[in-house]
Amino acid sequence: MRVYREEDASLEHLQGKPIAVIGYGNQGRAQALNLRDSGLDVIIGNREDEYRERAVADGFAVWPIAEAAERADIVMLLIPDEVMPGVLEGQIVPGLDEGNVLVFASGYGVAFGKATVPPHVDVVLLAPRMIGAGVRDKYVEGGGFPSFIAVHQDRTGQAKAIVLALAKGIGSTRFGVVEVTFAQEAELDLYTEQCFGPAFGQVLTTSVDLLVEQGYPPEAVLLELYMSGELSYTMAKIAEMGLVEQSQLHSTTSQYGSMSRGMRFILPELRQRMQQGLDDIRSGRFAEEWEAEQAAGCPTLQMLRESARTLPLYRLEHQLRHTLRGEPIPPELLESAEAPSAAIAPEAQAAAEATSARGSSAVARGGLFSGLVSTLRGLLAPGPAAAPTGSLSRQQLERVLRRFCQLVADDPALQAFSQGRSFTSHYVLGDVGLDFFMRFGDGVVQSALGVPVPPAEVRLETSAEVLDGMLSGRLNAMRAAMSGKLQFKGEAKVAMSQQQVQNDLVRLYSQARNEVLGP
């Protein structure tokens, strides 16, 4: 285990070497100011935008990117990863001389072959484990923050000494610097974003869903779990003292309870999923998928963002935040999180309207809160209107689905959706022993009862009642998945794309239901 500190780095290696910081955003500004305050010769390369004005206002000499790269010996790339390969190739590489140093702040481009570096320069990585604002604040306070460094190409034989000196210049060796490879930095970063973070998010949303459903006050649930800030305080203590040692800060009841029950959550499937996520990253599959997504204008990202905003939790958080500040809840936050609006229980709707009608004048906190509470209970708990009206017999459901499949296959909107796609969704209704599928392929839609051959890319397992609720528009699929009522297997991106035609599926299912069972 090796951690580089102040005594392992010398600013001597940077003397007489102008440094161009390309980009003056989160990291660019913080690193440039720190390097200048460490006595180094820093210029900025930036396109014509508001970041350029900020650099000028901070007293830097600012040049167009290509000119800054040409003037400097050390070029630090601090622009967004998505635009970096193009800027590098078009504006920076032409200005690099023999023995110059190219510094990345993320290993992604090089690790996944998206950024091409010329052979005649040093290529190093200096990646702070700290957001830009923290990089500057810690430096000014006299403290430090960790960074990862790496050497990808050592043309001069000095690459490591130079990157360590830069780490010292930005204030990182005051805390400690760890050497990795470009690939390790990129993969660890993506793993945290794609496995650790989402798994943690699921723990949180599942807990909220479960506890509210069991009748605990939503505002108490959110405060207990994370909105009090206690969790972030505990995380800071874990970073400072370690996971095991920090447990001393909690009561003995807490220590006994959490340690004795911890075993229940050792789930082999969790590890398997994390391994899958890591495999996706290391094989480059994620990088390819993300590149294609960007080339297409990020339609899936857009859809995922919209879906996230339909989660009851999204509204719940906003409502609680307004309430804690003693502010009235904006009316748009009191609308149903589900579509159509039948998802809010009638009494919750009434409470929502009453709360909203009280307007922005000095409303007693208690009044706001009680309105909030019943609204949120209506949003999250299975209120009367949210309860499945279902109770279809197996025979009825089979007839409805048979008609639904015919309508799906003939629907022009679904045929248009099917253009340029090729996937099958297989629905498995275990409780009634029914299967049906929808196959979308190049403008043609096939849909029928039964198991698809070949096997589908997406498999959704649920109950007859939940399916009926989802296809009638009463239940939100994300919420059903969150509460374990809908299990999904297969390609997430493909499954999410089907959300685009969710309204059409609801329309066709309602038509089939009306035709078969009457209005």
CA angle, residues 384, 470, 353, in degrees to nearest 5:
45
Would you say 121 and 101 are in contact if contact means Cβ atoms under 8 Å apart? yes
CA angle, residues 319, 323, 326, in degrees to nearest 5:
150
CA 30/CA 24 separation, integer angstroms = 8
**H or E element at residue 148:** strand 147-153
Does residue 49 touch ligand NAI according to CB under 6 A? yes
Does residue 145 touch ligand NAI according to CB under 6 A? no
Nearer to ligand NAI, 50 or 98 (CB): 50
CA 92/CA 117 separation, integer angstroms = 10
Nearer to ligand NAI, 68 or 78 (CB): 78
- Could you count the other beta carbons within 10 Å of the beta carbon of residue 509? 22
Give the one residue of 32, 62, 68, 78 binding ligand NAI; rule: CB under 6 A: 78
The DSSP-derived string for 240-262 is: HH-TTGGGGGS-HHHHHHHHHHH
Closest C-alpha to 74, from 181, 148, 173, 159: 159
DSSP letter (8 states) at residue 4: B
Does residue 95 touch ligand NAI according to CB under 6 A? no
Give the one residue of 9, 74, 75, 87 binding ligand NAI; rule: CB under 6 A: 87
DSSP letter (8 states) at residue 94: G
CA 510/CA 259 separation, integer angstroms = 50
Stretch that binds ligand NAI, among 26-34, 178-186, 229-237, 376-384 (CB under 6 A): 26-34
Q: How far is the CB of 145 from ligand NAI (least distance, A)?
A: 10
Q: How far is the CB of 44 from ligand NAI (least distance, A)?
A: 8
Does residue 188 touch ligand NAI according to CB under 6 A? no
Give the one residue of 9, 19, 21, 24 binding ligand NAI; rule: CB under 6 A: 24
Does residue 290 touch ligand NAI according to CB under 6 A? no
Does residue 69 touch ligand NAI according to CB under 6 A? no
Say which residues have a Cβ less than 8 Å from residue 223's Cβ, sequence separation at least 6. 320
Give the one residue of 58, 81, 347, 461 binding ligand NAI; rule: CB under 6 A: 81
Does residue 90 touch ligand NAI according to CB under 6 A? no
Q: How far is the CB of 130 from ligand NAI (least distance, A)?
A: 7
Q: How far is the CB of 474 from ligand NAI (least distance, A)?
A: 41
Stretch that binds ligand NAI, among 75-83, 209-217, 467-475, 500-508 (CB under 6 A): 75-83
Give the one residue of 5, 17, 47, 399 binding ligand NAI; rule: CB under 6 A: 47
Does residue 128 touch ligand NAI according to CB under 6 A? yes
Give the one residue of 21, 32, 42, 51 binding ligand NAI; rule: CB under 6 A: 51
Closest C-alpha to 148, from 192, 117, 118: 192
CA 177/CA 160 separation, integer angstroms = 12
Give the one residue of 34, 100, 106, 497 binding ligand NAI; rule: CB under 6 A: 106
Kindly tell me the burial class for residue 294, based on how many C-beta atoms sit within 10 Å of its own C-beta (0-12, 13-18, 19 or more). exposed
CB-side exposure of 47: number of CA atoms within 13 Å? 8
Q: How far is the CB of 101 from ligand NAI (least distance, A)?
A: 16
CA 435/CA 400 separation, integer angstroms = 13
Q: How far is the CB of 105 from ligand NAI (least distance, A)?
A: 3
Query: Which residues make up the interface to ligand NAI (CB under 6 A)?
Result: 23-28, 46-47, 49, 51, 78-81, 83, 87, 105-106, 127-128, 131-132
